[in-house]
Structure 1
Amino acid sequence: MQDVITHPDGIHALDSGYGRPQLAAIHLIVHEGRAAIVDTGTNASVPRVLAVLAGLGVAPDAVDWVLLTHIHLDHAGGAGSLMCALPNARLVVHPRGMRHMADPSRLWEGTSAVYGAERAFALYGRIVPVPAERIRPATDGEVLQLGGRRLRILDTPGHARHHLCIWDETARAFFTGDTFGLSYRELDVDGRAFVFPTTTPTQFDPDAMHASIDRLMSYSPTAMYLTHYSRVTEVERLAADLHRLLDTQVAVARAARGEGVARHVEILAGLEQIVREEAARQGWTVDENEALEVLRDDLVLNAQGLGVWLDSLREVETV
């Protein structure tokens, strides 16, 4: 269990094995002998999850819930394979994501459009459908029971229209998927975390993301559990940074000229400049080139997402 971090309140963060170390976490909540799993990683993550459950003394039939914050494949690509190994679990997903879990063909097409089919297959493998009768649509505000523990579902669009966050009343913390940004441990300074909004394709909505961040903060959480990467505290400071950096990224996108590749390159250059400025602001111990390398793939995807968002604004204006 060397890739597992044990947090307070029966929460465990497992490195999903996606990409590089500590890029994507799968969270396990263990309470009174029962378990819930938040996000699944990819197909390659499934043996890791089963090994950690065994190490914690949790049998596969003691897992009640598999909770997907959203259906992007670094979060949900392994859901079908994992559900095959968990006989009593129900898959909880946003209503917009249900049909894609039961029939992942369109989800695969969208992922292939972003990464290219060959790289997408190398990253995620064959996506296994989940039987429809094992999928439960998540209703905003509903409470799921894990033993005597209450997990409340919130609809939190912004990163995607099918995004959920899960409020753990026992831990007084949220499992935020990508709504509360990403925070890589390489950029911590004396335990002080940094957080960066993720605007990745294809449903980014800055106004909705601002509102979702504020909604999370209205619960006065003590911590946030991010998929990228796990537990952060000082949430008021980080929320303020998220709002500021979200507005800054949007400003970069709006200022970009041209079309297609030229515009993408200009947006990406603007995002890189934001990182350079944050390196000085945050006092990172890694130099700015190392920081850019840590964030490289995210910056490329953010630039793509901002471009899709700009195009959506134009479509609205022409209607």
Structure 2
Amino acid sequence: MCVLNHRGRQSLGNSLSPAHLDTYRSSVMKRRGDCVTLDDVKQVAVSLLQENYSLPIPLCFLDVLKSKELDDVLATLLLYLSCFFEHKSLENKPKHLMTLDLIPQHQLKAEPLAKKEIAKRKLAVCYFTLVMHLEIEQHQHRPYHKGQMSSNSTEWLLHASLYSFFCYVAWVTFGRKDLRDIQDEVGRLLYSDTFNTAVGNRTDGDSELTSTVSNGSLKMGDADPKEIKCSGTFKQRMPQRRLTLNNILNQRSPLMVTLFPTPKERSSYLFLGIQAKRQSSLQAEHCDTEALTEQLNQQLARARFGILGKSWRQFSCDALIPYKEQKINGNAAEDEAHEPGSG
């Protein structure tokens, strides 16, 4: 990330200054409507990125921020995460609350899983459309000068910024809840197993950096301050079993597998166990994929995920925090201040 300039000092090259991002946020605030839109959530996510992100943000991030391709990725990502949370809530539901009949139970589980797969295909198409757009833009730019970041460093920083930005957009949209689940799932989708934060969380166990949410803001657990600045996202993790270089090079992200499956991945049902084959056959029998695709298309066209489409009067202007939560948190803070010995 750092290169030496002609004086032998470290330089981060061209990166976005806070003034650039403030200008973008103010332009969005000026054209605000009556309801919360994706642009409103984006400017709040930019604010969170400024507060909690310590890596340099490349200048090209601002152009990506205003592109239609990014809006398509964010819309399909929110669609996928809504299906993801629906499926997760069903998986976490106690068995005694579900129907005892075997067929309806599988049908109940099959539809959310099928919707997740359909939404993941839509996200893969939009995401790699954005990636191709970035590649074209990069080739049109002038070659970097001495003392500036190389194209590989700029690309790495851009994708790192986009990952955090995706997580913040989803977190704000879904009411500032389940941040860790959002980070793990977005990381699982975008990266292969070697660079996957979700796999790292499983291998690290309790030693992993934990984050909590209080009053709509981020709070990190006990950890090294340097890890807190980077949000623990790109911390180096060693897997339990060391993989060969060939295996690492051939690993692909779930989005890449969804868009370009190998013959083995396309026929993965041949390599499943007997019980898994029964479940997949039951899911295939009880899912009308055409109807589910049409349902997701209509949901994507409406774009009513989380707080999107709700009235601005329900939220604070700067952070999109519901006034009810602010009032509850404010009363709790007053109660703590009046406790004996709190002074």
TM-score (norm 1): 0.22
- Quick check: which one's helix share is greater? 2
- Quick check: which one's strand share is greater? 1
TM-score (norm 2): 0.21
Larger Rg: 2
Q: Which has the higher contact order (CA 8 A, sep 6+)?
A: 2
